[in-house]
Structure 1
Amino acid sequence: MLFNPSSLVFLMTLITGTMISISSTSWLGMWMGLEMNLLSFIPLINKNKSPYETEASMKYFLIQAMASILFLIAILSMEMCDFSMNNQSSYLICSALMMKMGAAPFHFWFPGVMEGIDWVNCFILMTWQKIAPFILISYKMINILTILVIFLSTLIGSAGGLNQNSVRKVMAYSSISHLGWMLSAMLISNSLWVIYFMVYSLMNMAVVYLFHSHSIHSISQSYFIKHNPALKFTMMISMLSLAGLPPFLGFMPKWLVIQNLAGQGYFFMLLWMVVSTLLTLYFYMRIMFASFMFMGQEVKWNLTKNSNELTSLTMMISMLGIPITTWMIL
């Protein structure tokens, strides 16, 4: 995708739209950046003109356009009306931005769009497309609405992925669950949100690379990854890291969020989030166990022949957190 000149142009305007949104000093400038980002992502989705991509791009455009209209109405009413309308406008702004990034209960479009696009666009949708809405939400954060969205996102993100066979939909519900954790990190501080988002993007990059390089689209396909135990081990480590189990890299930001939420007295919300994350562990383990089946048919680990350096790099990314999290716990 990146070697296509037109795709490269749209990718640059996608990045530029996000940068305009997060650096603008007026709400109208932020809206213009979000629109530029939206209109740049549509051609990236629909580059192969397949029916699935066309459907996904139409869904994405309609939902994002609806959220942009709500956002524009909110900022216009905030500027035109008196001070008493500012609180209602803040609710509308937060709701529009949460719809844009797919947080529950505005998540219904997210798994459907993820199902119809390729893995590179899935990675962009799960990471880069969330930067601008998150930063804009931090300007108008409302604790009551944010806590409600955290409860719903962690519940729906964990329960929605239980009966899915598509790996893309599993990753979509995983992203919704992580959205709840990122919003709770933003409740504490923006710096903690930056740490969580960077680690989540790194883990997503490792997992998406594995699925993209081996054309894995359903969980049943991972049963047929044979004669490459190193790949199976890498997939297991990446899944455990994305699930947030110690001592892997994904545990570090969750442990920071748990410590800070406990310090500020959000005990019930913390219990809810941890229990919901245990449910997400189930569908991560489905992918992991599927990749580890029929292990007895292989003779030995062959790390020299047919071994990809990038596969080894993804393993190192996920295992990077072992010394860090061990030091944090001690």
Structure 2
Amino acid sequence: MKNSSYFMFMMMLLFSYMMIISSNNWLSMWMSLEINLISFMPLMYNNKNMYSSESMMIYFIIQAMSSILFMFSLINSNIIMYNNINMFYMLMMFSMMIKLGMPPFHWWSVLMMKKMKWWTMFMLLTMQKIMPIIILSFIMMKFMMLFIMMSAMMSAIGGINQTNILKIILYSSMNHTSWMLLSLFYENNLWIMYMIMYMLILIMFINIMNKNNIMFINQMNMNMNWNNKIMIMILFLSLGGLPPFIGFLPKWMILQTMMNLNMYLYMMIMLMSSLIILYFYLQIIMNMLVINYNLMKWNNKKMKSLSMLNLNMILNLMLPIMLMMNFI
């Protein structure tokens, strides 16, 4: 914050949020989106990362394209709404989905993840999603429900075989955003509480990752002590929405509202996507429990490592015993 330019762009960013909250027409919302884009791009710059300028260019091109689509729908609103009002809302919805990076418009955000800092990623996955969600709250339509279900399943499947933690958090954020958009159909203010809880969990998670300089799953076994590992396990379970952790509370409220409205099919799809997300979180937790590296000093240009726990051996020993007990 000692940097005056950083402080100025941060104030502009906050001003854009206040502007869209107080806007009463589409044009002022579009202006707030453009102010937000101009103020966020300099915050993405990192002189220690040679790829930061590339990520800035990707972000600018995608956001500019979505803004052009949004502006095109506004300019031709009289013609489009005269023929079909749903087409007007669909164009605006597609532009906001591109800004959010929701599947199937999510490839630009996947390309950016390996070129970003942890705290810049936090702003991109949380604060930068507030404005498109506010605009989407005004244009809710039934077709959007199909879009949300597809996004939830695609984001869950996309994160299964990832080894980069940044990409895993990205796909998880897409799934959480699907829950937030789903809450717009039932209770308009529920997504605000969901976003606040998600931001609190993500702040604690990113703080540990940033301090230990961790980017990949295998680094979590080497660079962290057991206290940090236990904290990461709890945060993973909370991000996955496992009860009784706090990440389950907003999902529980949305599920309860869906049950009252007999939306059982949509509820099962969202639960299945959350279970897949929880699966690859549990996969990382099992990897942290099974393997624990004790890093020694360099000796004859070789590094020795010890495996403290091996749950696979325990399971291999327990399985025959359990089968024998069943036969008895």
**Shorter-chain TM-score above 0.5:** yes
The answer on whether the counterparts of 2:156 and 2:274 sit within 8 Å (CA) in structure 1 is yes
Structure 2 residue 240 is matched with structure 1 residue 238: no
Moved more, 194-203 or 242-251: 194-203
Which residue is equivalent to 1:76?
A: 75
The CA deviation at 1:114 is 2.3
The CA deviation at 1:82 is 5.3
CA–CA separation in structure 2 for the residues paired with 1:286 and 1:75: 46
Which residue is equivalent to 1:43?
A: 42
CA–CA separation in structure 1 for the residues paired with 2:49 and 2:220: 25
Larger helix percent: 1
The answer on whether the counterparts of 2:81 and 2:87 sit within 8 Å (CA) in structure 1 is no
- Find the residue that maps to 2:160 and give its secondary structure: coil
Which residue is equivalent to 2:10?
A: 11
Question: What pairs with 1:215-254 in structure 2 (closer than 5 Å)?
Answer: 215-226=213-224, 228-254=225-251
**In the TM superposition, what whole-angstrom CA distance separates every residue of 1:172-221 from its partner, at most 9, and x where no partner exists?**
10111111111111111112111211111111111111111111111110
Of 139, 145, 148, 1:147 maps to 145
CA–CA separation in structure 2 for the residues paired with 1:19 and 1:85: 32
AA aligned opposite 1:109: W
Which residue is equivalent to 1:205?
A: 203
Moved more, 10-19 or 130-139: 10-19
AA aligned opposite 2:274: T
Gaps of 5+ in 2: 296-328
The CA deviation at 1:294 is 4.3
The CA deviation at 1:296 is 9.7
The answer on whether the counterparts of 2:222 and 2:293 sit within 8 Å (CA) in structure 1 is no
Which residue is equivalent to 1:321?
A: none
Which residue is equivalent to 1:258?
A: 255
Alignment CA distance shift 1:31-1:262 (3 Å): same
Structure 2 residue 277 is matched with structure 1 residue 274: no
CA–CA separation in structure 2 for the residues paired with 1:171 and 1:72: 31
The answer on whether the counterparts of 2:221 and 2:292 sit within 8 Å (CA) in structure 1 is no
The answer on whether the counterparts of 1:153 and 1:179 sit within 8 Å (CA) in structure 2 is no
CA–CA separation in structure 1 for the residues paired with 2:284 and 2:255: 26
**In the TM superposition, what whole-angstrom CA distance separates every residue of 1:277-328 from its partner, at most 9, and x where no partner exists?**
1111122123323333445979xxxxxxxxxxxxxxxxxxxxxxxxxxxxxx
Of 185, 188, 209, 1:187 maps to 185
Alignment CA distance shift 1:114-1:297 (3 Å): closer
- Residues matched between the structures, number: 295
CA–CA separation in structure 2 for the residues paired with 1:9 and 1:266: 46
The answer on whether the counterparts of 1:149 and 1:180 sit within 8 Å (CA) in structure 2 is no
The answer on whether the counterparts of 1:156 and 1:176 sit within 8 Å (CA) in structure 2 is no
CA–CA separation in structure 2 for the residues paired with 1:256 and 1:81: 37
Which residue is equivalent to 1:87?
A: 86
The answer on whether the counterparts of 1:185 and 1:196 sit within 8 Å (CA) in structure 2 is no
Question: What pairs with 1:18-167 in structure 2 (closer than 5 Å)?
Answer: 18-48=17-47, 50-79=49-78, 83-144=82-143, 146-167=144-165
Gaps of 5+ in 1: 299-330
AA aligned opposite 2:46: K
CA–CA separation in structure 2 for the residues paired with 1:296 and 1:214: 15
The CA deviation at 1:79 is 4.6
Moved more, 31-40 or 203-212: 203-212
User: Which protein shows a greater Rg?
Assistant: 2
The two structures have a TM-score, normalised by structure 1, of: 0.85
Alignment CA distance shift 1:125-1:82 (3 Å): closer
Alignment CA distance shift 1:225-1:39 (3 Å): same
AA aligned opposite 1:208: I
Alignment CA distance shift 1:134-1:223 (3 Å): same
AA aligned opposite 1:223: N
CA–CA separation in structure 1 for the residues paired with 2:172 and 2:105: 15
AA aligned opposite 1:124: M
What is the root-mean-square deviation in Å for CA atoms of aligned residues? 1.9
Tell me which of the two structures has the higher relative contact order, counting C-alpha pairs closer than 8 angstroms and 6 or more residues apart.
1
Alignment CA distance shift 1:89-1:100 (3 Å): same
- Find the residue that maps to 1:187 and give its secondary structure: coil
The CA deviation at 1:62 is 0.7
**In the TM superposition, what whole-angstrom CA distance separates every residue of 1:222-253 from its partner, at most 9, and x where no partner exists?**
01035x22111101100000000000000101
